[in-house]
Structure 1
């Protein structure tokens, strides 16, 4: 499918040019917008070259939904699959539906549970569990301590939200040496360490929509040469 230029750049695309001497010119602002648009398209094509990205449900910003860009989602999915020791390994994705989609796209047999507030994801059937972070442990009993890998992305950057999500992570994770991954803002670094004993990695998550806050990936285990290692 051909990409259309944003209207702020292309203006009225069907306007005829009657005289070459009177050819329309773009303002500096429009030129910058065009340059940014073409750069983003180039990066998108490079990121997805040779790979098929899964179809994603559209973001709902009212629920603080911002999907990872292709490189971030692919990197996280590959890390989770690297940590997966056997077919019986169970993965929980807490409020990170785009990661769920990428995991299933790479390996449809991976056992992964999506915990999410947005009921549009009920289309995933038994892989979906309704989750409200305000009720962090109001979850089916069969999920308790049932997951080897737990990836969480709190919807808000508040201390309260992280504290409640950390309770959910504790509820889900197996008692013995679970792998925990947390994606949240740089501002939560000290709280992530205090609440869950997590360390920041060198890898920097990015989103399809440009966000003003600096995001980090925190883990409970040393990824060594992966994910840029621990960044202490």
Structure 2
């Protein structure tokens, strides 16, 4: 885009080859209407206010982590009905969607459904936004669950701020989510729960995290086959080698279904009947693919 110099009423031609006619041509440069300028100013003020609110959130979150011996300890309801006022990360609204990063937040029901799949059987999460998650009666005897969440910050926020706080602390401590995300804003969830991730460098993950995850939730940021395949490389590096415990769930566009089914064939991934939904809607038709069925959560679609 060409940057035009500002006009000055006293500006005279200067320099060789520059005439008054040349300067007068700048009179044809389009200007914004008063209404458009007012809208632009409102937008800029809104952005500034949101940035200020986010900086305040970062400070509160940092203070919370500094006061905890274990950064994976979550604010617990302990039988009360939530503690949102005490938790700066309990509201996803503070994180605006960045469409340049292809960010589209899930609805609460979609996030809850994906969480229900990966924490089962340790915890039963009813698909009712008003119902509380219930730990398995013998949860002490069940193994811990490590969950890698790739490019799906809504799911991480819902799991850590809307589900885990309603569970007893011994159950909380058996669930270990880590968000792999390009957007560094989500580093506010703490150093143990955030890894900056770029699908263009699929193998660039901490060595200590390779082959460490029992479940992976994936939402590749772009619908290109390249993005899908590169993300799948990361999934392969993160998943545990214990086949009996591995779970994969992936949400992406119907247009790349063939790529998904080929790429994730080793994990038994198939298309489910569940349809992910986004808060602000999407024109692309989305599908949910998973490595297994789960009663009350989803069934596989019948293959033709």
TM norm structure 1 = 0.74
**Aligned to 1:103, what secondary structure does the other structure show?**
helix
Alignment partner, residue 59 of structure 1: 97
Q: How many residues align?
A: 182
CA contact 1:87–1:111 (8 Å) conserved in 2: no
Match of 1:98 among 138, 154, 163: 154
Distance 1:74 1:98 in 2: 10
Alignment partner, residue 291 of structure 2: 220
Deviation per CA, 1:48-91: give whole Å up to 9, x if none.
xx997941122111111000011111111222222547462100
Alignment partner, residue 200 of structure 2: 134
Alignment partner, residue 7 of structure 2: none
Deviation per CA, 1:78-127: give whole Å up to 9, x if none.
22222547462100000001100111120142310000000001111120
Distance 2:242 2:144 in 1: 15
Moved over 6 A (4+): 50-53
CA drift at 1:192: 1.1
Verify: 1:143 aligned to 2:199, yes or no. no
Distance 2:214 2:96 in 1: 29
For structure 2, the residue ranges without an aligned partner over 5 or more in a row are: 1-80, 123-138, 166-171
Match of 2:177 among 97, 106, 112: 112
Match of 1:200 among 271, 277, 280: 271
Verify: 1:82 aligned to 2:92, yes or no. no
CA contact 1:90–1:149 (8 Å) conserved in 2: yes
Name the CA shift for 1:83/1:168 in 2 (closer, same or farther; >3 Å).
farther
**Aligned to 2:250, what secondary structure does the other structure show?**
strand
CA contact 2:114–2:155 (8 Å) conserved in 1: yes
For structure 1, the residue ranges without an aligned partner over 5 or more in a row are: 1-49
Distance 2:298 2:242 in 1: 25
Alignment partner, residue 110 of structure 2: 72
CA contact 2:119–2:145 (8 Å) conserved in 1: no
Distance 2:286 2:144 in 1: 31
CA drift at 1:128: 0.3
Match of 2:219 among 123, 130, 153: 153
Larger Cα-atom Rg:
2
**Aligned to 2:278, what secondary structure does the other structure show?**
coil
CA drift at 1:209: 1.2
TM norm structure 2 = 0.57
RMSD: 1.9
